Amino acid sequence: MRVTARVGPNHEGFLTAAGGVQLFYRQIGAGPNPLVIPNGFHLFEDFKWLAEKRPLIFYDVRNRGQSEAIVDDQKLERGIHNDVDDLEAVRQYFAIEQLDVIGHSYIGFMAGLYAITYPETVNRLLLFGPMQPSANKQYPVQSDNTLSQVSSELAQLQKHRSADPIEACKDFWAVLRKIYVTDAADAHKIKWDRCELPNERNFMKYWTGKILPSIQRLELTPNEFARVKAPVFIIHGTRDRSAPYDGGRDWTLMFPNARLLTVHQAGHAPWVESPDLVFDAIETFLDGQWPAAAERVTP
């Protein structure tokens, strides 16, 4: 049985990763079979119900959220590889033999890369709208005009930017959140900004300067994917504007034991637009079974 020595009553604090970097975490729930959600605080309200059966460990990845703001550039240079090794530091800190992991968006990419790098430590892997496995592959572009509308609104916003950085961040997110859902009426359900935190307000510089280039330099091979024996479950919306749906299919093709749940007419947060389908599938998968709607993907 997979157990953890440190998971107990609800608590939060900091743990130390490579280079002495301090990562903020929150743990809720108790019992065996911990579920780790990297960069998961924007998902906390939507996913905390999973703690009814297992301990959940949310943590802010390096230079994000309430984790340490890093000024030493060398501690950021490895980009996504730092995040992979930091997840391993989290596993070791909580003394978890094998962990379950949920990764969303580019953290889904990171979680997949973690499974490739540390295959023996993963029990089950669940990826929501993961960034495509090859950043250099081109996919069809969504045919609606939401992206152009949002781009235009952001350009106008830039001309009248608030002098208050927190208010400017909130204004930015009030526009940006529209791209993450199919129906604009659901945009208010996207509460990912965390504008009160300087790390979050400054994330784009870190993303474009360190994380994205490190991902673009990667070309993962079939032999690397073959190392992963754990079940991998990809949940992807067909109208995802941030991470192409066909990228989710590619993840499913590459892992030897993977299945895909297609959420039709859903965007980058499929649990927001199809909660019953998605939450039932999550529970079934984490309980050790494949959901009925999960499909194997063929080329």
Same domain assignment for residues 99 and 130? yes
> Where are the extended beta strands (E) located within the chain?
11-16, 22-28, 35-38, 56-59, 99-104, 122-128, 232-237, 258-263
- Give the β-pairing of 35-38 and 56-59: parallel
Q: What CATH number does residue 136 fall under? A: 3.40.50.1820
Q: Is residue 294 one of the residues assigned to a domain?
A: no
Same domain assignment for residues 164 and 20? no
Same domain assignment for residues 55 and 135? yes
- Give the β-pairing of 258-263 and 99-104: unpaired
Mean predicted confidence (pLDDT) in 14-20: 96
Mean predicted confidence (pLDDT) in 259-285: 97
Q: Is residue 74 one of the residues assigned to a domain?
A: yes
pLDDT at position 2, please?
44
Q: Is residue 174 one of the residues assigned to a domain?
A: yes
Joined tokens for residue 100: 């379950």
| Overall domain count for the chain | 2
Query: Residue 5: which pLDDT band, with cuts at 50, 70 and 90?
Result: very low
pLDDT at position 10, please?
85
pLDDT at position 259, please?
98
Mean predicted confidence (pLDDT) in 180-203: 95
Query: Residue 8: which pLDDT band, with cuts at 50, 70 and 90?
Result: low
Joined tokens for residue 150: 């949002």
pLDDT at position 175, please?
95
Same domain assignment for residues 161 and 180? yes
Q: Which of 82, 25, 81 is nearest to 56 (CA)?
A: 25
130 near 109, Cβ under 8 Å?
yes
* Phi/psi at 255 (5° precision): -75, 140
Counting residues of the chain whose pLDDT is more than 90, the rounded percentage is 89
**AA identity, residue 96:** I
pLDDT at position 158, please?
87
Same domain assignment for residues 124 and 159? no
Same domain assignment for residues 40 and 120? yes
Is the pLDDT at 136 greater than 60, yes or no? yes
Q: Is residue 3 one of the residues assigned to a domain?
A: no
Q: Is residue 2 one of the residues assigned to a domain?
A: no
Same domain assignment for residues 137 and 29? yes
Alpha-carbon radius of gyration of the chain: 18
Mean predicted confidence (pLDDT) in 35-56: 95
- Give the β-pairing of 11-16 and 22-28: antiparallel
Q: What is the pLDDT of residues 176-187, one digit of tens each?
A: 999 999 998 999
* Alpha-carbon separation of residue 111 from 56, 121, 148 (angstroms): 16, 12, 31
Q: Is residue 43 one of the residues assigned to a domain?
A: yes
Three-state DSSP class for 234?
strand
The percent helix, strand, coil of the chain (3-state, each to 5) is 45, 15, 40
Residues in the chain: 299
Which one of 163, 190, 217 terminates a domain? 190
Same domain assignment for residues 234 and 174? no
Same domain assignment for residues 116 and 156? no
Q: Is residue 5 one of the residues assigned to a domain?
A: no
* Alpha-carbon separation of residue 224 from 12, 101, 117, 227 (angstroms): 35, 19, 8, 6
Same domain assignment for residues 53 and 180? no
Eight-state DSSP code of residue 265: T
Q: Is residue 72 one of the residues assigned to a domain?
A: yes
Cα 193–chain centre separation? 14
Same domain assignment for residues 90 and 209? yes
Q: Which of 231, 246, 240 is nearest to 284 (CA)?
A: 231
| Residue range of the domain that includes 68 | 11-141+205-286
pLDDT at position 3, please?
43
Same domain assignment for residues 51 and 164? no
Residue with the two structure tokens 């350009």: 155
Q: What is the pLDDT of residues 205-263, one digit of tens each?
A: 999 999 999 999 999 999 999 999 999 999 999 999 999 999 999 999 999 999 999 99
129 near 246, Cβ under 8 Å?
no
